[in-house]
Amino acid sequence: MVLQVNDVMKRFNTNLALDCCSLHVEQGEVIGLLGPNGAGKTTCIRAIIGLIGIDEGSITVFGMPQDGKNKSIRRKIGYVTQEITLYEDMSGRDNLAFFASLYGMGKADIQVRMAEVGRLIGLEGRLGDKVKHYSGGMKRRLNIGCALMHKPALIIMDEPTVGIDPQSRSFILQAVKELAKSGVTIIYTSHYIEEVEAVASRIYIMDNGHIIADGTLRELIARIRGDHFIEVEVRLASEQKRKELLGLADVKEVALEGNRYTIVVPGGIPILDKVVLSLSEQGLVTINTKQPNLEDVFLTLTGKQLRDEVAS
């Protein structure tokens, strides 16, 4: 087993950042860690790497207890930070070489590996340029590349695609898939459900510092198979109406994103007419019923829609 996190508690003053957080990762898995901002994903990752201590519970990485001082654990982890952490005045090549040198790589090895990583992140022709002249997407890719130089056995990516264009995002997802094929273990945190759906072999859903569900995408969706999802778009939605809908008998959850309500109801309950009646005063635009996806799993389990959380 690559990683075992057991009932970890972490407090920052009175704020409980990790609440009995438990997860395990096997060799070669791509784990998607999904949760809204403030769910505790980054805290969990920082605890796994040993950047912060924990108050209770235990973390074992590659069979070794994580006490924050174990250098062999750190040598095996590649950490892609959520923020872009690069030296902007230096070239891409300088950055890759510097971060590789921190892991004890020699000059010759760095040169060889730089060519491989440059290809993987699609920057082979631009590594000589200063990072400050890169686009946001290129910086993101280099940010990932710096964590790959020392060939880590476990790569932890904390929201690696925040704030970039769809093209770069797709490039990064492709790179993650390639890494996964090579047998590297990856923990991929994101609040973009479609990304986690695309890359993860197993998913952990986190909310309020706690793992609330885990399993493969199919397993998670199976948990809510009995539920129906109704999407109604209106001209002018309101929070008050959302609460009103939630008050209807048999409605399990209601999420509001822009002018679109997503309503979760148990299967087999004829409720569409009540919903239509309730929302008709807001000007109906479209009505859809749909198969559940990961977003619906998240909504059913947390009562929140991930994108709303991100926006807030």
Partner 1 sequence: MILFHIRRSLKDLMGHAILILFPLILIFFFDYLYKTIDIQTGMEVEGQQRLALLVIGFALTFQIYGAALSFETLAADFYSPMHDRLFASPVEGRSLVLSVLISGTVVSFLQSLVIVLFSFIVLGASIPSLFVVLVILLVSVLFNQLLGTVLLFLVGTSKAANVVTTIYGSVVPMLVGLYFPLPDSALFRVIRLYGTPMSLANTASIRAMEGDYGSMALVMLPIAVIIVLLFVSLKPLVRRIEV
Q: Binder to partner 1 among 90, 269, 271, 272 (CB under 8 A)? A: 90
Rank residues 83 and 273 by Cβ distance to partner 1 and give the closer one: 83
Q: Letter for the amino acid at 287?
A: I
Rank residues 67 and 250 by Cβ distance to partner 1 and give the closer one: 67
Q: How far is the CB of 71 from partner 1 (least distance, A)?
A: 4
Q: Binder to partner 1 among 13, 14, 89, 235 (CB under 8 A)? A: 89
Residue 103 touches partner 1, criterion: CB under 8 A:
yes
263 has which bridge partners? 230, 254
Residue 85 touches partner 1, criterion: CB under 8 A:
yes
Site string for partner 1, 39-78 (x = CB under 8 A): -------x--x-xxx--------------x--xx-xx-x-
Q: How far is the CB of 278 from partner 1 (least distance, A)?
A: 46
Site string for partner 1, 199-238 (x = CB under 8 A): ----------------------------------------
Site string for partner 1, 157-196 (x = CB under 8 A): ----------------------------------------
Site string for partner 1, 240-269 (x = CB under 8 A): ------------------------------
Q: How far is the CB of 201 from partner 1 (least distance, A)?
A: 24
- DSSP codes, the chain: --EEEEEEEEEETTEEEEEEEEEEE-TT-EEEEE--TTSSHHHHHHHHHTSS--SEEEEEETTEE--S--HHHHHHEEEE-SS----TTSBHHHHHHHHHHTTT--HHHHHHHHHHHHHHTT-TTTTTSBGGGS-HHHHHHHHHHHHHTT--SEEEEESTTTT--HHHHHHHHHHHHHHHHTT-EEEEEES-HHHHHHH-SEEEEEETTEEEEEE-HHHHHHHTTTEEEEEEEESS--HHHHHHHHTSTT--EEEEETTEEEEEEETT---HHHHHHHHGGG-EEEEEEE---HHHHHHHHHSS-HHHHHH-
Binding site for partner 1 (CB under 8 A): 46, 49, 51-53, 68, 71-72, 74-75, 77, 79, 81-83, 85, 87, 89-90, 94, 97-99, 101-104, 146
